[in-house]
Amino acid sequence: MTTYDVLFTIAGAISVASALLAVSTKHLIHSALWLIVSLVALSGCYFVLGAEFVALVQLLVYVGAVVILVLFALMLTRAPIGRSHEHDTPLMQRAAALVVGAATAALLATVLISAFGNDKKRVDGGTTHALATRLFGTWVWPFELLSALLLVALIAALALARLPIGRRDTARGAVK
Amino acid sequence: MIHSALPMIVVGLLFGIGLYGVLARRNAVLVLIGVELMLAAAGLLFVTVGSLTSDAMRAGQVMTIFVITIAAAEIAVALGVILAVFRARGNIDMAQAGERE
């Protein structure tokens, strides 16, 4: 066990445990709050792997923006405070989902470990300077395309929010 | 130095948990949380492979930044759709999606 191993195990265990709570808790708001813990721990994993810029972007964008959006959506759709059972799935469906999820996790981990082996590898995250040179050199066109994508998403979200939708009868096209 | 199996196990577990969240939840916002976890697993895989192999172009980290940006755009549009569905139907229950009142 190296220091990297220990640090990564701690961050990864926190991330996986809080992700598990995020998908299993009955409190809707707690689910979004556990997602924050999981994503912060994941950005700790990025730090251990030497990708400090990605870790900071993860903190800023995910924890700062995405989870806040999710919390807004929960409140705007009148999520109940406290435990709620009105959206419970049948036990059969949850058991089937558990089997599928566990099988996918086992399959992915097995395939990835057999592809990369379990040797000790040197962690080389590079410097932020090198990353910036690559981002605005080799990858500059995809980067510019992304800014266009963000603009399109902004306008699309605005248009969706302003759609004139009534309840049921008046909006058959939108409900269909 | 790090054992390369550790990040792979975390990737597998995060993706499996996200898939469970997508399949076992009926509230549309909670389904989105499962999707976010699956995207996070993909990003962790990109960064891991970028850091543990010789990655002169820094493609692993750049791709993760792109995935994070696309996820932010996706969630903005998805929440717009969810709010529109809530205004039209009065609930966001995935089990009733596609049903007429």
- Sorted by where each starts, the structural domains of chain B and their CATH numbers stand as 5-89 (1.10.287.3510)
Residue A174 has pLDDT above 60, yes or no: no
Residue A171 has pLDDT above 50, yes or no: no
Phi, psi of B2 (to 5 degrees): -145, 145
| Phi-psi group of B64: left, alpha or beta (phi > 0 → left; psi -120 to 50 → alpha; rest → beta) | alpha
Q: How far apart, in whole angstroms, are the C-alpha atoms of residue A77 and residue B87?
A: 9
Task: Give the count of Cβ contacts less than 8 A between chain A and B.
Answer: 295
Out of A22, A146, A175, name the one closest to residue B88 (CB).
Answer: A175
Given an 8 Å threshold on Cβ–Cβ distance, is A146 in contact with B9? no
Q: How far apart, in whole angstroms, are the C-alpha atoms of residue B37 and residue A125?
A: 23
| DSSP conformational letter for A79 | P
DSSP assignment of A50-75: T-HHHHHHIIIIIIIIIHHHHHHHHH
pLDDT score at A166: 64
Phi, psi of B26 (to 5 degrees): -110, -20
Give me A8's structure tokens: 């990564």
Out of A118, A139, A175, name the one closest to residue B89 (CB).
Answer: A175
The tens place of each residue's pLDDT in chain B, 101 residues long, gives 888 889 999 999 999 999 999 999 888 899 999 999 999 999 999 999 998 888 788 888 999 999 999 999 999 999 888 888 888 888 788 777 777 65
pLDDT score at A119: 82
SS3 A85: coil
Please give, rounded to a whole number of angstroms, the shortest distance from the CA of A161 to a CA of chain B.
6
Nearest CA in chain A to B23: A97
Given an 8 Å threshold on Cβ–Cβ distance, is A76 in contact with B81? no
Q: What pTM was estimated for this model as a whole?
A: 0.89
Given an 8 Å threshold on Cβ–Cβ distance, is A23 in contact with B30? yes
ipTM value: 0.91
Out of B4, B55, B100, name the one closest to residue A117 (CB).
Answer: B4
